[in-house]
Amino acid sequence: MDRILLGGSRLSLDRFRADPVLAALQWPDDVLQDFLFEHGDHGPFVVVDCGHLDLSAITWTLEAIPATDFHTMPTGESEAGLIEHFAQNPVYWASVKVPEVGRHWEDHGTWLRPPLLIDRRLLDPADSGLHVLEGRTRVGVLRGRLREQLRVTPHHQAWVGRP
């Protein structure tokens, strides 16, 4: 896994994706980019939150998740409290991204790009339900919009990793 993690910040996404180890995972491009390419060299995230994961044992599917399921969905120990930080000012956090992000929330009541969730049976210790792996800002904006009674669709697309 070191080769994968060290390569993310030095290679183009196309070269990164072409690595035989990554190609063997057969993960969707969105998942590969958001999880390993963009965050693979972020030590606390990789070591504390994901160091025990067997990447080859995860199958990813795009699923519609009820908005209410995100209300208490946890995230990794290295980012504890971050989702609620974003939820405190959802309009601001959507606006600091590219302009399309804020507009998408206003027009569609959901995120522009699905976050990554993982089945908590894959975590150590194992549990039931889903866990926010990547997309803490998106989930925080959703929670804040729900609290502030802003436009939110009843279901949201998310990539879900399951055993």
List alpha helices for 8-151, DSSP H: 13-18, 20-25, 29-31, 38-39, 43-44, 82-87, 90-95, 99-108, 136-147
pLDDT of residue 8: 44
Q: Indicate if the pLDDT at residue 48 is higher than 50.
A: no
Q: Indicate if the pLDDT at residue 94 is higher than 80.
A: yes
Q: Indicate if the pLDDT at residue 1 is higher than 70.
A: no
Sequence spans of domains, the chain? 2-162
**Contact (CB, 8 A) for 39 and 134:** yes
The string of DSSP letters for 78-94 reads GGTTHHHHHHTSHHHHH
Q: How confident is the model at residue 153 (pLDDT cuts 50, 70, 90)?
A: very high
pLDDT of residue 24: 75
Q: What is the pTM of this model?
A: 0.80
Q: Indicate if the pLDDT at residue 100 is higher than 70.
A: yes
Positive or negative: CA dihedral 67, 90, 87, 77: positive
Average pLDDT over residues 131-143: 95
The alpha carbon of residue 138 and the mean position of all alpha carbons in its chain are separated, in whole angstroms, by 8
Q: Is the peptide bond before 125 cis (omega within 30 degrees of 0)?
A: yes
Q: How confident is the model at residue 41 (pLDDT cuts 50, 70, 90)?
A: low
**Range in 10-14, 55-59, 88-92 the model is least confident about:** 10-14
**Contact (CB, 8 A) for 92 and 140:** no
Q: Indicate if the pLDDT at residue 141 is higher than 90.
A: yes
Q: Indicate if the pLDDT at residue 40 is higher than 70.
A: no
Range 123-128 contact pairs with CB under 8 angstroms and sequence separation of 24 or more: 123/52, 123/53, 124/52
| pLDDT, mean over the chain | 83
